[in-house]
Amino acid sequence: MINLEKSEPDLMTYKIMESSKACEEWGIHTSTLRKRIQDFPKGTIRKIGNSYAVTRRGMFSVFGVPKENYYNERSGS
């Protein structure tokens, strides 16, 4: 069961990714993500050094579904 009240991401429950990879998958610019940090649910984004770690749940919550053809483009289809 997911505890939505936690202030820290649970590394065993959520899919965590680097913000640059998330932005690529969702088809957004990194500046767009930075401008919307306050919109992420608590515990779904965290600054680490000069980058952010984000959960898929947080990305879905703020930006909806990933770019439609992301996986097809990556596989060469």
The ranges assigned to domains in the chain are 16-75
pLDDT digits (tens, 9 = 90+) for 35-65: 999 999 999 999 999 999 999 999 999 999 9
Percent of the chain topping pLDDT 70: 69
Of the two residues 56 and 14, the one the predictor is more confident about is 56
State both tokens at 43: 């515990």
Cβ atoms of 28 and 63 closer than 8 Å = yes
Model confidence, pTM: 0.71
Tokens of 2: 């997911």
Say whether pLDDT at 25 is over 60.
Answer: yes
Three-class DSSP category at 22: helix
| Three-class DSSP category at 27 | coil
Quote the pLDDT of residue 67: 86
With a cut of 60, say whether residue 66 has pLDDT above it.
Answer: yes
